[in-house]
Amino acid sequence: MGSTSTYHIAYISLGSNFGDSKKELEKAIELMAEHVGKIIQVSDIYRTKAWGLQNQADFLNQVVGLETDLYPHDLLKKILGIESEMGRERKVKWGQRNIDLDILLYDDYVIDTQSLVIPHPRMHERNFVLYPLFDLNPFLVHPIFRQTIRELKAWCQDELDVHKLKSK
């Protein structure tokens, strides 16, 4: 892990629409627990039509909250490594994929570099991110917009339906 014992709270979105998507989400969470930090929250799983390229299978989406001592760029390297370990191939933008991991938030940091943008630049436009994030913390404040996840969800213009899967 990182070089300091200070822990940070990060929220990571997970998505899958290829293979056994539920198992892919479970495996990604296991690998994050092993290599990234302590998983402290796991949202329900949501089914959503594909966003962007729509002629593909529905996605299963989820968000986890975790404690990590990794700095943001190191966290990004680790989750990209997990995607690679799980066989993720980046062939078509917004195309089908067995796993997609994105950093949504990292404490209240605002980062805008060529390789990393936090908060995720389109999270406020996507119900498939806002619904599971709302499960975890509706009062979490977006560090740029200064609005809660509850407010962002209420004002989101995304028209794709999001359906919570039944819990086990």
- Report residue 12 as tokens: 């990571």
Would you list the DSSP string of the chain? Answer: --SSS--EEEEEEEEE-SSSHHHHHHHHHHHHHHHT-EEEEEPPPEEEPPSSS-SSPPEEEEEEEEEE-S-HHHHHHHHHHHHHHTT----STT---S-EEEEEEETT--EE-SS-EES-TTGGG-HHHHHHHHHH-TTPBPTTT--BHHHHHHH----S-EEEPPP-
Catalytic residue (choose from 44, 58, 69, 102): 102
Told to judge if 100 belongs to the known catalytic residues of this protein, a careful annotator would answer: yes
Q: Which residues have CB under 8 Å from 29's CB, separation 6+?
A: 14, 39, 42, 64
Told to judge if 90 belongs to the known catalytic residues of this protein, a careful annotator would answer: no
Catalytic residue (choose from 97, 107, 135, 146): 97
Catalytic residue (choose from 88, 108, 122, 135): 88
Told to judge if 150 belongs to the known catalytic residues of this protein, a careful annotator would answer: no
- Report residue 8 as tokens: 């940070």
The C-alpha atoms of residue 138 and residue 143 are separated, in whole angstroms, by: 14
Told to judge if 122 belongs to the known catalytic residues of this protein, a careful annotator would answer: no
Catalytic residue annotation:
88, 97, 100, 102
